[in-house]
Amino acid sequence: MRVTGLLEEIATIGRDRITGGYRRFAFTADDVALGEWFAARVRALGADVTVDRCGNQWAWWGDPDRAAARGRPGVVTGSHLDSVPDGGPMDGPLGVAAALVAVEALRDNGILDEAIAARGRPLGLVRFVDEEGARFGLACSGSRLLSGISAPSSVLALRDAEGVSYAEAARAGGLNPDHMGRDDETLRRVGCFVELHVEQGRALALPELNVPVGVASAIRPHGRFRLDLAGRADHAGTTLLADRDDPMLALATVISVARAAASGHGALATVGKVEVAPNAVNAIPSGVRAWVDVRADTEQQVRAVLVDVEAAIGQAAVQESWTAATVFPADLAAEVAGAVGAALGSGPVPVLPTGAGHDAGVLAQAGVASSMLFVRNPTGVSHSPAEYAEPDDCEMGAQALAAVLTRLLAVE
């Protein structure tokens, strides 16, 4: 099996004919088709697929319950198959396809049998449901429910654009909403989790690194802040400049200061949404509402950007959401980076942070030893039909993943 061949097998499922992007949403017919493909591929590798109470699909080589009872929980890999609206072909499926190729390699070279027979260490493959949250607005709901990071009551009441609730969609998908929530029986089987993912950025492609595979150190902290900029509505044709109280000038300051502050503090800041009242061509606005999204390696850097913006306009921002950093275990990341490097014939590969959320991050928050491999993305574009990784890099990613799993299965 090759990674690109596997991606080709599902290339038409959920693809929009006009945009060429994917619209693979949770608990839809396309989602079911992807799940059936996954199950068939797993069966061809000699394992059965089970669905946990929260809708995630699992396959095991070896007996995970027996292993967990003896204190030797399994090594697990996998990712997701759903997409954002008009998503690309790699975000999610690359991790599932690479996992299938890696499992096949470990089966063929005898490492899987040895791990199971000699050490009692099973290997698991998971396909998480609804990672992108495109339908109900909550990312990683499958892993959040499974791990108890999100309460079932808050997830099951979410509704899609048609008014269908998460509970109704899950029930139509064969799940019992009354049984959804933290699943210790399933979690107990997972000793560690490694997710391979296309890089959503181009750090690995930059000349200073230029490596096909890297490892995640952390998911950056992330804040969303709102600014309400007040002004006074007036006539665009008669009000002297000196007499105006124009909130658009404050908005301009916010945008330019956020950019400069982000640059100065090593952060990313985006003013991506504004509301202008009354939003008329010939009126000085009475008010502007603007949202600033700030991400950086540390909370201090995010706060420093915000302090600069607030000082420039003499006004405090309202914090609408705050997502703390997820730090992947550093010893595991170092071990993974070493195994990847050995597979690529180099020293340890770079370990770097990302600004995007993942199921591996949710599991890490829940206390599962988790790690991520990133495959180089030449343009950095993701969540777009233009998302791409070189075929050779995809295959190297699968080889690197196989090397990582080999090392983790060998742990006594």
**Which parts of this chain interact with Zn ion (CB under 5 A)?**
91-92
The CB-of-378 to Zn ion minimum distance in angstroms stands at 18
Residues facing 372 on adjacent strands: 195
The CB-of-200 to Zn ion minimum distance in angstroms stands at 8
Nearer to Zn ion, 91 or 393 (CB): 91
Nearer to Zn ion, 198 or 257 (CB): 198
The CB-of-78 to Zn ion minimum distance in angstroms stands at 12
Query: What does the alpha-carbon distance between residue 285 and residue 132 come to, in Å, rounded to a whole number?
Result: 36
The CB-of-384 to Zn ion minimum distance in angstroms stands at 13
From the list 254, 232, 255, the residue with the least C-alpha distance to 245 is 232
Nearer to Zn ion, 213 or 257 (CB): 213
- Closest-CB residue for Zn ion? 91
Number of neighbouring beta carbons within 10 Å of residue 296: 24
Q: ∠401-404-409 over CA atoms, to 5°? A: 125
Nearer to Zn ion, 92 or 191 (CB): 92
Nearer to Zn ion, 92 or 152 (CB): 92
Query: What does the alpha-carbon distance between residue 376 and residue 198 come to, in Å, rounded to a whole number?
Result: 7
- Please report the sign of the dihedral spanned by the C-alpha atoms of residue 387, residue 388, residue 389, residue 395: positive
User: Tokens 């600033």 label which residue?
Assistant: 292
Nearer to Zn ion, 88 or 231 (CB): 88
User: HSE-up of 47 (CA within 13 Å, CB side)?
Assistant: 25
Residue 212 · residue 392 · CB < 8 Å: yes
The CB-of-91 to Zn ion minimum distance in angstroms stands at 4
Nearer to Zn ion, 92 or 223 (CB): 92
The CB-of-130 to Zn ion minimum distance in angstroms stands at 11
**How far out from the chain centre does Cα 14 lie?**
19
The CB-of-147 to Zn ion minimum distance in angstroms stands at 17
Nearer to Zn ion, 304 or 375 (CB): 375
From the list 139, 136, 104, the residue with the least C-alpha distance to 321 is 139
Nearer to Zn ion, 301 or 371 (CB): 371
The CB-of-197 to Zn ion minimum distance in angstroms stands at 6
Query: What does the alpha-carbon distance between residue 92 and residue 26 come to, in Å, rounded to a whole number?
Result: 13
From the list 161, 193, 232, 178, the residue with the least C-alpha distance to 361 is 193
Query: What does the alpha-carbon distance between residue 197 and residue 218 come to, in Å, rounded to a whole number?
Result: 14
Residue type, 29: A
The CB-of-257 to Zn ion minimum distance in angstroms stands at 32
From the list 14, 105, 95, 20, the residue with the least C-alpha distance to 61 is 105
From the list 20, 16, 27, 18, the residue with the least C-alpha distance to 162 is 27
13 token code pair: 């499922």
Residues facing 326 on adjacent strands: 219
Nearer to Zn ion, 92 or 221 (CB): 92
The CB-of-382 to Zn ion minimum distance in angstroms stands at 8
Query: What does the alpha-carbon distance between residue 198 and residue 349 come to, in Å, rounded to a whole number?
Result: 16
